[in-house]
Amino acid sequence: MPELPEVETVRRGLTPAMEGAVILRADVNRPDLRWPFPDRMAARLTGARVERLRRRSKYILADLDTGETLLIHLGMSGRMLISGDPLGQFVHDHPAPEKHDHVVLHMDNGARITFNDPRRFGAMDLMDTRTADQHKLLAVLGPEPLGNDFSDAHLIEAFQGKNTPVKSALLDQRIVAGLGNIYVCEALFRGGISPVRKAGRIAKPRVAALVPIIRDVLSEAIEAGGSSLRDFRQADGELGYFQHRFDVYGREGAPCRKDGCDRSVERIVQSGRSSFYCRSCQT
């Protein structure tokens, strides 16, 4: 599933084609994805101007001049693809419709935004912009890891007394929003912390050190266009490149990249998810 860097990469790609543009027509080609679409979604989107495109955790939020906000979640295989942008940001002509093009937005600047989702685990919803942060999917989220609210003090307090593995704690969206399996593995490697160590038993200085490490990992991934594993594509259809810089994720049996370490990367399963780490460098 796309994590924060992939979603932020898509948001940045969509921004020049959507912000300030009017949705001339919205085609909604099925009644649902993971959940049913909101009532009259096509009619409510048609004629609306996109005033702002933002991100919260793994959700893209399009604030409309109608007072509503379109929430988009890519799910496992969802892609937001742009074609026909007259501003010269993208060079793709409008492709022929595909089987899994479930929602298509025709913009007044000539761009076409297509939400394609073969597995249909994605989601869209419309909500009142004034109370968007109270939406059931957003209200439970913790601070953004790249925002000011994600601080040493916050993470230390969140970990205090916690008897779950640190890997699970960092995947808890109530503690920090947007982190997923890939970037938690990478951050823990850089921090020298084993994914099986109990969060509440990590010394405060080591917990504090994780905050800038997490920021750095995410920022580097965003600049690389995210990580392309299986289905992910940027909004212009291109692949991300951060997967070529993984230190541990997906590298089971490969040599550890820390200087002086002669161990190999190991894989274990935690709560049904693969964790990759170096047993020697992460304690």
Q: Catalytic site residues?
A: 2-3, 58, 273
181-191 helix and 204-223 helix, angle to the nearest 10 degrees: 130
- Give start and end residues of each alpha helix (H) in 19-151: 41-45
State how far the Cα of 26 lies from the Cα of 35, in Å rounded to an integer: 18
**Which residue spans within the chain are E strands per DSSP?**
23-28, 50-56, 59-64, 68-73, 79-83, 101-107, 112-116, 123-128, 266-270, 273-277
Helix 204-223 × helix 4-18 angle, to 10°? 40
Cβ-contact 37, 72 below 8 angstroms = no
Report angle CA 82, 241, 98 to the nearest 5 degrees.
30
User: How many whole angstroms separate alpha carbon 240 and alpha carbon 228?
Assistant: 5
CA 45, CA 282: separation in Å to the nearest integer? 49
**How big is the chain, counted in residues?**
283
Q: Cβ(248)–Cβ(237) under 8 Å?
A: no
Q: Looking at residue 37, what DSSP letter applies?
A: P
